[in-house]
Amino acid sequence: MGAFRDSELMARGLLHERSMAGDRPGRIHLLYVSSHGLMEPAGRAQVVALAHSQRREIEVSAVSFETRKDLADERRWIALEAELRGREISWAPLVRHRSPPMAAAAWNLLRGTWASGTIARRQQVNVVHARGYSAGLIGLVVKAATGARLVFEMRGFWPEEGVEMGRFQPRSLLYRAAKRLERRLLASADHVVVLTESAKAILREREAEFRLSSPGVREAPITVVHCAVDLERFHPRPRDLEIARRHGLESSLVIGNIGAFNKRYLALEMFRFAFHVKAHRPDLRFVYLTGENPDVVRRIARDAGLEDRDVLIVHAEAEDVPRWLSLFRLGVFFLRPSYAAKASGLAKLGEFLAAGVPVVANTGVGDVDRVITSERGGLVLSGLTDRDLSSFARKALPLLEGDAVPDEVRRVCGTIASEHFALSDAARRYRTIYDSLASLPHSGEEAPIAAGVG
């Protein structure tokens, strides 16, 4: 990773820890452990939400696993470190090793546990917030060693996602190990955070079934915190003419998607929907902002009937995404409806809406059905046959009239984003969780259920 070595990165983060002199009872010392990077868009939004949750009685230290590519970008790395330091968040970034897979995962866990344990002891941490399953395993160790309270943020049903992505085989040893870890985390966590109301409902059903066979088991506190969007960055803005000219989009009707392109997405259906819209609007261009292989994306677009000139694949930097969204008239994405999909938070949903862009998505995914309740905010497809896609393409045409997203549609989209994805709301929910945990009794006393949370 160039000039930075893993040990140096971690040391710099530890050096920025604050002194505990003058500590007061009831003060919250929070250790935030993320399985992924704070330099990634979702990770940065998360830590900004944490920063918004701060006040004088809370101190935050963060441990994250960053990609070599991100850490090699010295300008971005230094800028984020300075921003976090300005928000009084100390940061210990670690390189996320990827291969060989099993050895790399074990090595990441060892390094993460050592760094987290060091910080927990020095900072007298009393709350650990673990984002993701591997971070949750680190959190379990820290909790056992220090007595700190554990917040487990699931970020989705990872074992089932692994099956959908081809990482696990159903009923394989790895899948069973992942499910066992999940059960341990849910049983040991003092509070559970999920991304969707659908995921919360599933966990409550699990608990109800378990209590039938095990009377006396308490109901675990669960809070839904949707993927937070920085509304200062994502908001309606005039078309970015510089980007439009550079990519030949001045006179195009732009619809598209941002982010991942993998087996969980129904890419063929997504492009087929675009094909049917193009039958009515020949000026359509489908823009996909993704870092995935453009050739793979184009091949599926061709299979759906689109020509290469109809599709533009761009690897956009995170800071440029709001500028790109100023060109979009529709955000379009379909995920395979499944058990795992019900827990998917879909940050892109909030980003589209915050930018004033209506969304076309399918039912049975996360909380899409609950969020898109007005046709001015977009369309939720109940079926994905070609006949359904053709019908909804016609239904979407009123959203595509004129030279820009209609003001009333932008207003509705902005209202939905503020209600469901605002950083201030996420910060308030985190803050309530931390306050409830910091006040719980220790020394083996039975902890009550957190009041007013969930």
DSSP label at residue 265: B
Length of the chain in terms of residues written: 454
The better pLDDT of the pair 281, 74 is held by 281
Residue bearing tokens 């689109």: 306
DSSP E strands, 81-215: 89-95, 127-131, 149-153, 191-194
> 3-state class of 381 per DSSP?
strand
Q: Mean of the pLDDT values across residues 78-83?
A: 87
Q: How far apart are the C-alpha atoms of 240 and 226, rounded to whole Å?
A: 28
pLDDT digits (tens, 9 = 90+) for 309-356: 999 999 988 889 999 999 999 999 999 988 888 888 888 999 999 999
Burial label for 446, CB within 10 Å (0-12, 13-18, 19+), is exposed
Q: What is the reported pLDDT for 1? A: 42
Q: How far apart are CA 229 and CA 355, in angstroms?
A: 10
Pairing of β 328-332 and β 359-362? parallel
Regarding predicted confidence, which is higher, 87 or 226? 226
Beta-bridge partner residues of 15: none
> Could you report the per-residue pLDDT of 401-438, keeping only the tens digit for each?
988 899 999 999 999 999 999 988 888 899 899 988 87
How far is residue 301's CA from residue 271's CA, in Å, rounded to a whole number? 6
Amino acid at 184: R
Residues above pLDDT 90, as percent of the chain: 56
Are β-strands 253-258 and 222-224 bridged in parallel, bridged antiparallel, or unpaired?
Answer: unpaired
pLDDT at 257: 96
- Cis peptide bond upstream of 100, omega within 30: yes
Can you tell me the distance from the alpha carbon of 148 to that of 152, in angstroms, rounded to the nearest whole number? 13
pLDDT digits (tens, 9 = 90+) for 175-184: 999 999 999 9
Residue 29's φ and ψ, nearest 5 degrees, are -110, 105
Model confidence pLDDT, tens digit, residues 370-382: 999 888 899 999 9
Question: What tokens does 143 get?
Answer: 């909790």
- Residue 149: pLDDT band by 50, 70, 90 thresholds? very high
Torsion of CA 345, 351, 356, 359, to 10 degrees: -40
The average pLDDT across 68-73 equals 88
pLDDT band (50, 70, 90) for residue 25: low
Question: Which amino acid is located at 18 in the chain?
Answer: R
The Cα diameter of the chain in Å comes to 69
Tell me the pTM: 0.86
Q: Read out DSSP for 103-134?
A: HHHHHHHHHHHHHHHHHHHHHT--EEEEESHH
Cα–chain center distance at 426: 12
pLDDT for residue 444: 44
Q: Both tokens of residue 131?
A: 């984002």
pLDDT at 445 > cutoff 50: no
pLDDT at 47 exceeding the cut of 90 = no
Q: pLDDT-derived band of residue 39, with 50, 70 and 90 as boundaries?
A: confident
**Alpha carbons 250 and 424: distance in angstroms, whole number:** 36
Kindly state the helix (H) or strand (E) to which residue 65 belongs, with its residue range. Answer: strand 58-66
Cα 221 → chain centroid: 21
Domains in the chain: ranges and CATH: 6-227+424-438 (3.40.50.2000), 241-421 (3.40.50.2000)
The pLDDT of 240-263, averaged and rounded, is 94
- Please identify which residue in the block is written with the tokens 């394989």: 172
158-165 vs 173-188: helix crossing angle, rounded to 10: 160
Residue with the larger pLDDT of the pair 454 and 83: 83
- The string over 252-273, giving b where at least 16 C-beta atoms fall within 10 Å of a residue's C-beta and e elsewhere, is bbbbbbbbebeebbbbebbbbb
Crossing angle (nearest 10°) for helices 267-280 and 386-396: 50
Q: Look at residue 3 in the predicted model and tell me its pLDDT.
A: 40
Closest alpha carbon to 306 in 327, 334, 278, 332: 278
**pLDDT bracket for residue 440 (50, 70, 90):** low
Q: Which two tokens stand for residue 316?
A: 């956009």
